[in-house]
Every structure is written in structure tokens, then in C-alpha cells.
Structure 1
């Protein structure tokens, strides 16, 4: 290095070029210091001085302080900043590496070797492998596993970049271009895994594959199926585009090949086509069912459009939408319409009809608004929709006899009396008679309970301080119509409108310490906008009603009181020196007696005018038509009932019983006895009409129920006992049955219901069946007694595998000595003898069950037997095979009106759900 004299105008420093080999040595040493300074290794690195990007010359030049250096304006550089951009660092990110056995850097080859549980962190890239080599000359990272002495290959590389994880046999990665070659990789893409012999990583968002497999199987070493991809391009999180693709099952090729393939990949909901299923109906021809399009509108609502088409011209359309806003509300709505054609045009049995159904379910989150609530549960449409629908999703609801709906809104206002209002619209439809009852709407308002004589301390004791009153109002627009005129003008002509105001007044107190006494009185006022006027046509001998428009009202009141107590009885069976299983029985009796008074409001009754009376007076007409009751009230069309015509004063008597037992617990370690319920309830009730002149005793009503066998068997029973006898015309007479040569009571009706749920699993181990949800949405039973929905394509993704194998006692997946099973029984019998018919009006047994023959095979059945009509009820047999990544289902209705079968096999993956086969034979239903 040379120095210039100080007398020169400028001080310049010249660097003498070093020899080439020396420069390489210096560069290597500098790079090694840099790597060891910013990296982690097994050895503790020495603390060194950080190397700056630009190295300043530390040589001190001595100048004469008395000589002032002048700067020539001609040689002054006017460019303050260097226009040449500095070169990038050799590595853009800090490299962190680690290995268990050794970390070695070869200065001659410029390679870093990591062995045994080696890791490299570089930016968003991480590589884990048994053996990693970094080549600084070529800017590459080579990672591979370790071969042991037995020939095994362990610690395979795991390459992670961002959210993408690749598990290959080996990988070569270029840190500069970010490209990579990946051998025998396994990459998760959506619900499946891509297994490729060679993968070329072009950049962070594009991968090219050669000779790859795509599968959703869990066992990647031996997948039960895969789609072979000769060539493919992957855009992670977006799509997989392939060349020729074929289906392989256990490495056996199938004839199912496609010239190209497109597999969308997205973490969000996306719109797409829904592939239909096909089949044949002997009455309507070939068909396509449940095909359409799914619209992912946004994160809160979606829309599914589905359609059916039959070659004879029948078709069906369905719209389904689900919506949800977190912490506010959620729900779903579905509308179905079917145009059904039977036979062919020109034949005698040709017919055409349309059916529809609307379902809506809405629920509000309890956190949304504690003072107001809106809910909806709607199921209305054609009365014969479920019976005639050709879609298999409606199978389990074909025996429904009632469709019902309710939409309600309620709000509570804060204050002393807490006023409450609610609006409700209801609908009830009998699918057999096609009669429809609706309220559009019902308004209810009320004020909170008010204690006018409450003490200042807030304590309410005694008959006076407990006096309270309320106010309530109820307004209805009631409509009774039929399916044929539903939502037509004629439907609203028969609407009944009314309003009822009620003010109940009540109090309660203790009597003689052990008796509870309550007394209440109620005042009611009913408003109507329509009344009637009746006339009696003497020639036709019938009453004729005429509607009178205009406001009118009637008022009623009543009084009631009751006295009750509770008695406890204990029967102790314990004795000293004996450890009996039955230790005690406790009997709880709750008797009560009540008294009710309902005055006669005969002022609201009048005699019907007789047409063609020939000038006779009313008294003369009453005498002539004494055998005909001409009395009527103009309020008899009221939706709140009519005012009482006769005075009523009755005494009610009721007794309820409960039996519990205390037994020795089977568990020897238990310190206390076990309580079991012998009889949940046994109730008796009757009444005596003090003001009546005959038949003063009402029939005795008996009801009860219990649960046995650890609450697996539920029993409920009821009966009606009449103390009066019948005459020869089977009419009740004012003579006790015992005085007429009979028994004390006459059994007029009785019923018994029993339900029994058995399972080989422990209590609480039963899983909820997703198929029951479809039953409930259609208004059906909350079990599978009538069968389950046959929409296997929709269920294949939702169904989860059951954890059926005990890890401590693993069994073969094809055979097990312990076979899980479940059985549900429902028994019902009704007896009628009100007019000496002495018959069993109905008698049936329904059952359903499932058996897991193996961990993969499940069979089930739903059926019943009608003992009165001697025949089986609707029967369904079900077979299900778990094929790991696939599901196979077969449903069969062997006989009856809805005789049919349905076979399905498909993949349990949301992305490959359309890779399925479904074949079915539908029932031949005549409209």
C-alpha cells in the first residue's frame, strides 16, 4: 500500500491487488465467520466482531495542521450518492441450523454438512432430515434420510414453506431461485394427499408433478384407492390441474379414465356443480335426481338449487339455503315443488298433479338480545307431499299425519310490571282429512304479577299480603280451511277474529301448618267483530245461521279454591344383623280437593225465530217445539268459547302417588344405599257437580308411569272408569253401575304405551344419528321407527367413523367376538268400551335396531306389526359397509306401498363426493 505526500492537494489511498488464491482464502474465512456468527450449532460460537458491509481503512494519514487543504472546484464531485446499487448479501436471510451428531464445514468445497436430526431454518423455509448438505457455491440445499445397517431408511426429509408441507424421500432446494426438485413426496392438498415420484417446485405457488397419485386414504403406504396422474400442476390452496387421470383400486387399474382433470382447492366455500344420481321408475321412466348448483354467496348465507327430471315429463325443483350470523341468529329454509305425471297421455290411468312443501327454521342466539326473541319452525305444503314425493330423501316422513308451523316474536319491556308482548302465527295441517287450522296472527300482551298489599319489607305472608293480580290480552285471527282452497280468497272469508281480556286475582296461604290453600277468581271479557243470528225452518226442520257484522262482547267470571297437603310414608325392612337387598320403600301421597263455581250467563241466550210460524207467539212456539232446543247464543262462533248457559258448582278430588325404594348397591365399595324409582306417578282424579240434578259424578281418570331396568324401559298407562250404568240404547243413566248389577266402575277406555331401548354399549355411549335431523325437519319422529332418509350422497361426508375397537383388546376388522348392537321397541295398545263395544281400537308394536357385525359392516332394520289388522307396517332394511375412504349403503323396502331399493357407493371426501355410483328402484305410487 502506498501513501501520497501531504503537500498534494488530495489525499488518495491506493489498494494493491492481492493474489487470486489469497483472495479466495480471505473470502472463505470471512464467509465462515459470518455463518458461524449468525447460526446455531453444537459448539458454542466464539464472540467476534461483526463485519460491516463496507470496510473502512483504519490507516492514519499524518498531515500538517498548519497547511490548509484547498479543494478544487473543477475536481469536486457533484454527485453525493453513488448511482451504482450495492450488491445483495450472499444470503438474504439468517441461516439457523442444528444437528445432533455433527456439524462440519468443508472450506475447500464450500459445503456445510449436518448429520442426524438436522434442521435448517431459512426465511419461511424449514427443512428437517437425517442428512443435510449445503453447497454455497451452487446455492443449493440437499436433504435426505439416513440408511441404517439393516437397510432401513429413517429420518426422511420434511420440507415446510409457509403453509405447505412436503414429506419426500429426498429434496434439492436452490436458495437463490427458490426452485426445488422433490423425490417421492407426500403433500396434503385439501382433504387428500398427493404422492409423486418427482415434483418440480417452480416457485412458492406452482408445483409440477410427474407420475403422481391423489388419494384421501388414511394409509398412504397402502392406499385402498387413488387417482393416478401422469402429469399435474398444483397451485397450493387453489387448484390441481392434471393430464390423463385414471382410477386405481388397491393398485388395480379400472377402466375409469379421464383425458384431463381439475380439482379445486380452497379453504373457503366455493360455488360448484352438484352431480345428479340416476335411476329408473317403472311408472315415470328413467330419471336424474338431486342435480344442480351450489352458490357460496358469502360467509353468512349459501344457496343450493336442485332438480329432478323423469323421461315421462315429471320434474321437481328444490331450493335450500342456510344462513348464520355469529352471536345473532341462524337458520335454514327449503322449498320443494314437484310436477308429477302418472302413466302416459291417452291411457285411462293418466293423471297429473303438483305438490309443494315449504320448511323454515330460525333460531336467535340468546346473547343477541335478552329482552326480545324471534323464532320460526315452519313445515307446510300439500297434504300428500310426503306420500307422493318420488325423492328418496322423504322416505322417513311418508307416514307423517300432521304438519305444523309456528313463527313467534316476543319482547319484554323493563320496568316495575315488566310488560310483555308477543306475536305468533301458527299452522296445523292434518294430512289425512286435509283440514288446516291457522292463526294469522295471535297477539298476546301481559303485565307482571302485582301485589297491592305487599309489606314494605318485601315479605309476603298471609292471605292478604299474598293477594296478587295480573292483566292479559289475547287477540286472534283464526282460519279453518282445506288444502284445496289454501291461500285462496275463499280461505279468508271464513276467518274468525276476536279478542279476550282477562284479569286473574289469586292468593295462597298455609292452614294449620300442613295444608296449602289457594284461591283465585278471574274476570274475562271477549270482543267479537262477527256474531250470528239463527232461525228455525219449520218446513225443512233445520236451523239456519246468518252472519251479523258488528262489534259485540260478553263478560264472564268464575271462582275456584283448592286445599292440598303432602303425606310421607316410610316402610323400613332393615333388621339388625341382616343385610337385606331391599332396605326401605318411601310412599309419597299428595291429595287435594278443589271447589269451582261458574255462574250461568243465560242473558246471552235467546230463542231462535221460527220461520212460517203463522203468527204464533214465542211461548206458543216453545210449547210446540218443546222437544227441540231453540235456545242459542249469538256468540257460539267465538274462538274463545261461549258463555255458560247453566250454573255449575263442582268439587274436584285428586290424589297423586310416588313410590321409591332404597336398595343395597351392587358396588361393594359404595358407602350409601342406592335409590330407585318404583312408580313415577299414579294419579286419580274425579269431580262432583253439586248443582247438577243427575249424573253428578264425573268418570274417574287414572294415569301413571314408571321406568324400569335402569331407565331403559319406559311404561305409561291410563284408564277411564265410569261409575254410571248404560241403558239399552247404550246411553248413560242416573244409576250407579253397581246398583245395576255390575261392578263398582265400568272401564270405558284404557291405553298402555311402552318404549324400550337396549344396547350393548354402556349408557351414554350411543351416538346421535345424523339421519334423524331429516326426520325432524319434516315433522316426523325423533327416532328411526319409520325408517331413515335415503339421501346417502348427502350423508357420506357428515358421517364419522365410530371408535369401536378397544385399544387394549384389539380385534380383527373383519371379525369380532363382541358384536355391538342396539334395539328400540315401541308398543301401544288402546281399549274402547264407552258403548259396550268392548274392542281393542289399536294394537301395534314398532321396532328398529342396528348390529355391527364387524368394525366395517353394519346392518339395521325398522319395522312394526299391527296386531289388530294383522300385518306388518312400513319396513326398511339397511346395510352399510365402511370401505375406509369409501362408504357403501344399501336400503331396501321389501313390501308395501313404498316397495323400493337404493344402492350407493361413494368417496367420503367433500372434494371427491361426486365420484360415486347410485342405483335405485323407486316405489310405484299412484296419485
Structure 2
């Protein structure tokens, strides 16, 4: 760009009012308008040059002659010719606007424009603000600098903006014609970091050259805690920084960490690149490189990180991690981990080699994507001992996982009358202790919406007839039960079992005596299967053998049930006239319910095991060989292994169920004196009682009374749940339940057979903000959504989220001294279980888990996750954590002091994701020999 000389346009006259003289003011304005209207400026050509008259002028003239001139299809040319000197642009490409608070002064002789105090110039995408700006029209330069104040010092430093690039120097010289600039002591943001340079040369809009520059991500640029010194560098804003010799300085102290040249990507978008591994040594595997690989920025919607571990004894591991997202469509992540673990050396007696793997996939669909269909996935499967055997510290938080589970489902709704719902689901459940795997591939479910054949076309449904409704449900399962060794092998699929359940429920409901609600229902069920079983008893070998019979088979069942219930409200008012009592009232809500169910006998589907190898044996001899159980007692149903389940009962059942649920709330005086209404407090969320009586039973007709309840205390910070089972029948001398009531046997009305209490409590200091513990790894691995079992020790990947807790309390920000109120948080989980079914009278389990963090200072925090087994008097899995906030750096230390997972891990590195490879890690990994015992 170039600034127009004042002679090329209207001259701006700046007047300062000293005293009013109307005549002189009017004369000056008239003279100015007259001169600018009738005068023109033209450059004088150099001597010796002649005007070339061969150039056509743009003015068109018409020649008039008395003779007729034939029409020629070309324009006549004027005899006036143009100047041979190329004309200069008389107008700027953009409008120039400038402003200054104190004054704007133009020196006609020097052709300079001076702007002072809060000066500002805008031209196109360029903007300069400074305390003082000088524009030299003869040299086409702009010089911007700050102003010096006797009190504040050097203030109003220049800020140069062009597009998205911002430079904050001490001073700047900018050439408006060549677009080049010379910048002194500049501070430029480049990506996550800032470049501080003594001298910067702006070559054009996209290239800067630096000398003696500093690159840092520190917030305090005047005294950064670290920086990378760049002797000579080239910056392409928004793309890259290329430098020669560079090394790391910590508080202006040089370190030997340096490179002869370096490249810093500065793209705003995701870019592919190397992931620098951590290195170390482990006694039983030698030296290692861990968590190194390559990051692939595939597109704006999906990425992929290929990470690997290698040990010099031959062990290695591979991890593939991918995240994908499409706004308003779906989002998810995928991960696959494989480890080949070698112990000791080949030829030694303790040499072993094994492979473990784990597959995780999480997918969720946005509700706006398609309201009538939905697809979701939550997969976590692999080797049962993966989390216990893995040598990568990223899996530390999932060490105590006992189960792995997965679910993939697709559902579709067909709108209409009636509505039809359809879903396909694949599930997986894996016990990591027994290595048993149960899978359904797939489960089909479909249903037709409720149909009210007698309901009126308009208005609400009333009465027993109008509320009659029925629907159709179908469920099909293809189930496999296998182990780790047979997973997805031929034997697994050979043992698959298939079943279909068709159900037609019919129900109605209506009001009885205005305050009672009565419902009645009956259902018909038909089950299909492709495999049944046959059992036989080998008397000689005293074994029961089971064989599978292939072929279609089915059974049909039906039942009837009814339920009568109501709701009773009670209010206990404690308010007294003239007194402001603390407890205003207590509200009690009771929901009693009585149900009656009839289940016919389906003994036709039950049979007795056949006897084999019993030739020549009498029934007495058979009974003697079998023992206490007679052969006729070995009864079974051929549908016992159908995935849907076999016939519900062999004998006729006619039972009544009794239940009572309670809810207690209180209205108390609010501590807030401005509140106009009492505060509602929940005393008991629920208190439930359940039992049943079997009219068709010949003994033990009463079922045990089951009690359950729960509540929240201390502003919902503490949650308590409890339960108990009370049995009305007595035990004989062999601790076997008999058909005699316990009270008739000299005991109490009920016998307490089991009880449990579970409590969780979350505490924190006032104003304490929970730190991001990055527990997503625990959740994705099937663990707890808290840190009671510890967290991942992969600090290198967590540091990109290390800017948590940046927002301090206002009291801390306003004072240089540390607040005496030390921030902290504590989480407690308590569980106790009591068992007394056969007069054990013992605490079967009793434990306390706890985790917490405390900030000893604004920069130091410690945390722990542990538990205590009160019954066995010992600590459970324990993890201790220490963290130091080093401003731009982060230091972590994690220690598992005992158990088979004993290990520690130290890490220090830069928070910024672009420089996260500047790190140091040292660790002692768990002993694989100890874990394999």
C-alpha cells in the first residue's frame, strides 16, 4: 500500500480557535474551496524526454465533412495524445482512517503527519495503535512507538495487527509501499506459545525473520520460567516456525538440551506428527521405549494415534486410539491394545511368554440425528487378565476390574397406529476371575404398541371395559457361553443356543371406591427353541450325563394377576401459635399394595432322568447306590438350557404379595431470613417392606420379609442405602429351615438372616473446585467413575489437559500471601454385610474406601486412594499421588507402596501440547513374576 500525498487530493486544514473572527474564517474557507476546485497537480517529466504522440487519447471526436463518408466499423481517433509517463494511482485501494487524542499535525515542508496519544491508523486489514505515530509521505513509512511518562514509564506500546496476526513491539517501522517492516522487541502469539524477539523483519504478509528470539508458553513474558532461544528463525504465521541452533533455557540459565535446527508446526488445524516415547529400564525386561508412535490427523472428523512399547528382551506392545465426531450426528472413540509379554530369558526355567489384548469402542448418536432410529455401542472385551497383566501404566486405574461388559444396539420405531418398535442388541459379559464369557449375538426384540379395542374415539378412557388393552412382544436370543481359550473359535459357535419368546399380555385398570386403583392382567407366552437336552443317570459310575438334541421344540405358558393399591398422605404439624419452631411439619406418604397371582402347573414339560447300565438291579439297589436322593427325585425339563428360560414352575402356585413403600419429608425453618417459605428436607427417600404368601404351598407358605431403604444427608452430600431380610421360620438342630414359626420355637417373631449398609460421602472445603482427574480412562475401561480405585499413571498424555484449576478464588488473586483456608476434598465409601442364614452370625464383608486431595499450597497438592478391610484388618489397593504446579511445567509422582502392583512413576514436562515432548519420566514398573503367582 502507499499513502497518497496531500497535493493529490483535497488538503485538510486543521484550525485551532484562539479568538472568534467571522470575516477571517469565512475568507479562509472560501479561499480553500476556490484553490482546491480550480487547481490540479501534475508531475513534471525529466528534461530530454519528449512526448510520444503515437498514443491514442481516450477522448472520442466526430469529424464532420460535406462529402458523404462511408460507414466503417471502427471508432475515430482523437488527435490529442496522452502522456508517455505511466500515470500514478490517484486513489488508495482502501480508505485510510486515523485518530489521536491530543493532536494530529501535518508538516507540509517535511511531508510528515504526526499523531500523538492513543494514536490509531486503519487501512484495509492493517491496524496500528500506539502512543505516537509518524507518517513520512516522502519515504512511504510509518513509524510507531510508545510514549514516556514520568510516572508510568514507557506506555502505549505499539500493537500491529494484520489479518489474524498480532505483534506487540516496543517500536515498529513499516513501509507502506513494499509492505516490509522492522520490529523491535516484539511479542507475537504463535499457536499456544509466544515469540519474543529483539529484532524482527517482516518480509511480507506471510514471512517474518527473527534474530535472538525466545519461544515460550509461559504467561509471564517479562520473566518466563523457561524458553527456547532461537538465534535465527523464520516464521510463517499460522503455519510453522523454522529455526537454526536452538536450546532450552530455564530462568535464563542455559541447559545442554538443544538441537542444531528445529521445526515448530503452528497450524490451527490438527496435524500429523511423531509422538516422542518415554525411555527407561526395567530389571526383568531391560531397557524400554514406551508410548511412542505417530499421530494421524486423518480429517476434521476423525484421527488416529498409533502408539507402541518396546523392551530389549523382546516384549512389545501396540495401541491404536481413534476419536471421531460429527456435529449433530454422532461421536465416539475406538481403541485396540495388544501386548506380547516375555518374562526372563529363553532357556531359563522361569521363562514365559504370553499375549494379551483389549478392544474398546464407544459410540453415541445425537438425539437430533434421527428421532426414529438410534445406534449406540459400548464395547470392552479382551483377555480376562489384561488389566492385571499389562505393563503399561495407562491401565493402572483399571487394575481392580472384575468384569468386562459390552453392548451394541440398534433400534427403530415405525410411527403409526399402532406403533411398532424393533431393536437388535449384541451383549457380552466377562468375568476376569473365572474367565467365563457370556455373549448374545444377537438379541432381537420387537413389539406392537398397546391397542385399546374398546376405547372411545374421543375423550378419556373410563371403566374396566374401555381400559382393556393388549399388545404383542417377541424376543429372540442367540446365546453363547465360553471361556477365554475358546473365544470366537469353532467350539464356541457349536455350543450356541437359540430361543424365541412370543408374548401377548392383556390388561385393564380402573378406580375402585374412588381411592383405590385396581389392575388385572393375564398373559400368554410361547417359546420356540432349536435345541433341547436329555439327561440320563449312570448307576455304575454314579454320574448324570447330558446330551443335546437338535430340532425344533416349543412350550406354552399362561398366568393371571391382579393388583390393588392406593396412596395415603399424613401430615404431622408442629407449628404453634406465637412460636417459630424449627421443625414446622413432617409429611408421611404411604403406598400400600396387595397383589394376587395364579401360575398353573406345567408338569408336562418335566421328566425323570433315565437309568442306564441298571440291568439286574432292583429299585432298592438303585436307591442304595444313588444315596439319599431317590432316582425319581432327579427331575428336569428338556427346556432347561433355552436362553429365554424354561417353564416357570412345575407345581401350581397361588400366591399373594404384600408391599408397603414409605416416604418421609420435613418442613423446617430456613436459615435464610429472607425466605418466605419453609425449607423442604428429605428424611427418608424410601422405606420398603415386601413379603408374599403361597396359598398352594403345603409348608413354608410365608416368604421372608425384605426391607430396603435409602436417604441423603448433609445437603445430599452423603448417601445411605440399607437392606435386611427377616425370616419367620425356625431352624432345626442341623440349621435347616423347618415349617415352624420362629416365635413358636421360643425365638423372636422374625429371624434376621442378612443385612447390609452402604454409604458414600463426598466432602470438600468451601469453594473448592474439583480437579480434573482424567478418570475417563477408568470409565472407558469399565471401572469406577471416581478415583477410589486410583487413576491412570499415564501423565504424559494427561498434561495437555493440565490447565485445570487455573481459576483461583478472588481472595487468593488479590493477595500475594497464601490463603490460610487450605482447599481439600474427600470421598468415602463404606460397606458392611451381615449373614445369618444358618446361624453363622458373622460379618461377611466390612470395608471402608476413601480417596482425597489436599492443596498444601497454591502449587503443591497431594492425593491418595486406598481402603481398609475392617474384617481382615488390612489395607486394600493403595495409590499415593503428588503434584507440583510449575506454571508452564507440571510435575507428577505416583506411588503404589504395596500389593502385587507395587510401583512408582515420576514425570515432569511442559503443559503445552505443542511442546509436550519436552519431558522426563522415570518409573519402576510392577514385578510380573509377583503378578503371575
Give the TM-score taking structure 1 as reference length.
0.91
Where does residue 548 of structure 1 map in the other structure? 549
Residue 722 of structure 1: how far off its partner (Å): 1.0
Residue 483 of structure 1: how far off its partner (Å): 1.0
CA deviation profile, 1:197-219 (whole Å, cap 9, x unmatched)? 11111111111111111111111
Contact 1:129 1:157 in 2 (8 A): yes
**Cα distance change on mapping 1:273 and 1:475 into 2, 3 Å:** same
Where does residue 376 of structure 1 map in the other structure? 377
Residue 621 of structure 1: how far off its partner (Å): 9.0
The range that moved more, 736-745 or 30-39, is: 30-39
CA deviation profile, 1:481-528 (whole Å, cap 9, x unmatched)? 111111111111111101000001111111111111111111100001
Contact 2:803 2:911 in 1 (8 A): no
Where does residue 131 of structure 2 map in the other structure? 130
**Cα distance change on mapping 1:519 and 1:352 into 2, 3 Å:** same
Contact 1:476 1:498 in 2 (8 A): yes
Where does residue 827 of structure 2 map in the other structure? 824
d(CA) in 2 for partners of 1:824, 1:581: 31
Residue 30 of structure 1: how far off its partner (Å): 10
CA deviation profile, 1:686-717 (whole Å, cap 9, x unmatched)? 11110000111111111111111111111111
Where does residue 301 of structure 1 map in the other structure? 302
Where does residue 153 of structure 1 map in the other structure? 154
Question: Could you say what secondary structure the match of 2:465 adopts?
Answer: helix
Q: Which ranges in structure 1 are unaligned for 5 or more consecutive residues?
A: 1-28, 56-64
Where does residue 774 of structure 2 map in the other structure? 771
Where does residue 847 of structure 1 map in the other structure? 850
d(CA) in 2 for partners of 1:906, 1:34: 60
Where does residue 722 of structure 1 map in the other structure? 727
Residue 857 of structure 1: how far off its partner (Å): 1.4
CA deviation profile, 1:534-585 (whole Å, cap 9, x unmatched)? 2222222332222111111000001111111111222222112222111211
Residue 380 of structure 1: how far off its partner (Å): 0.2
Where does residue 397 of structure 2 map in the other structure? 396
**Cα distance change on mapping 1:801 and 1:776 into 2, 3 Å:** closer
Matched, 1:708 2:709: no
Residue 531 of structure 1: how far off its partner (Å): 1.0
Where does residue 680 of structure 2 map in the other structure? 675
d(CA) in 1 for partners of 2:153, 2:696: 100
Residue 805 of structure 1: how far off its partner (Å): 3.4
CA deviation profile, 1:564-617 (whole Å, cap 9, x unmatched)? 111122222211222211121111111111111100011122333322344899
Where does residue 86 of structure 2 map in the other structure? 86
Question: Could you say what secondary structure the match of 1:300 adopts?
Answer: coil
Contact 1:821 1:851 in 2 (8 A): yes
Question: Could you say what secondary structure the match of 2:801 adopts?
Answer: coil
Where does residue 764 of structure 2 map in the other structure? 759
Contact 2:477 2:644 in 1 (8 A): no
d(CA) in 2 for partners of 1:575, 1:30: 89
Where does residue 185 of structure 2 map in the other structure? 184
Where does residue 885 of structure 1 map in the other structure? 888
Residue 36 of structure 1: how far off its partner (Å): 5.1
**Cα distance change on mapping 1:795 and 1:151 into 2, 3 Å:** closer
Contact 1:655 1:683 in 2 (8 A): yes
Where does residue 489 of structure 2 map in the other structure? 488
Contact 2:772 2:804 in 1 (8 A): no
Residue 769 of structure 1: how far off its partner (Å): 2.6
Q: Which ranges in structure 2 are unaligned for 5 or more consecutive residues?
A: 18-24, 44-62
**Cα distance change on mapping 1:737 and 1:85 into 2, 3 Å:** farther
**Cα distance change on mapping 1:67 and 1:417 into 2, 3 Å:** closer
Question: Could you say what secondary structure the match of 2:328 adopts?
Answer: coil
Question: Could you say what secondary structure the match of 1:741 adopts?
Answer: coil
Contact 2:758 2:830 in 1 (8 A): yes
d(CA) in 2 for partners of 1:527, 1:278: 59
Where does residue 6 of structure 2 map in the other structure? 32
Where does residue 26 of structure 1 map in the other structure? none
Matched, 1:361 2:359: no
Residue 812 of structure 1: how far off its partner (Å): 5.2
Question: Could you say what secondary structure the match of 2:797 adopts?
Answer: helix
d(CA) in 2 for partners of 1:695, 1:102: 104
Matched, 1:694 2:668: no
Residue 884 of structure 1: how far off its partner (Å): 1.3
The range that moved more, 694-703 or 720-729, is: 720-729
Contact 1:38 1:95 in 2 (8 A): no
Question: Could you say what secondary structure the match of 1:824 adopts?
Answer: strand
1:749 is aligned, of 740, 750, 754, to: 754
d(CA) in 1 for partners of 2:280, 2:310: 11
**Cα distance change on mapping 1:136 and 1:221 into 2, 3 Å:** same
Contact 1:813 1:856 in 2 (8 A): no
Question: Could you say what secondary structure the match of 1:740 adopts?
Answer: coil
Contact 1:181 1:201 in 2 (8 A): yes
d(CA) in 2 for partners of 1:471, 1:686: 31
Residue 67 of structure 1: how far off its partner (Å): 10
1:573-612 alignment, distance < 5 Å: 573-612=574-613
Give the TM-score taking structure 2 as reference length.
0.90
**How many residues end up aligned between the 2 structures?**
886
Contact 2:609 2:636 in 1 (8 A): yes
**Cα distance change on mapping 1:546 and 1:599 into 2, 3 Å:** same
**Cα distance change on mapping 1:278 and 1:177 into 2, 3 Å:** same
d(CA) in 2 for partners of 1:652, 1:191: 66
d(CA) in 2 for partners of 1:323, 1:563: 51
Contact 1:420 1:447 in 2 (8 A): yes
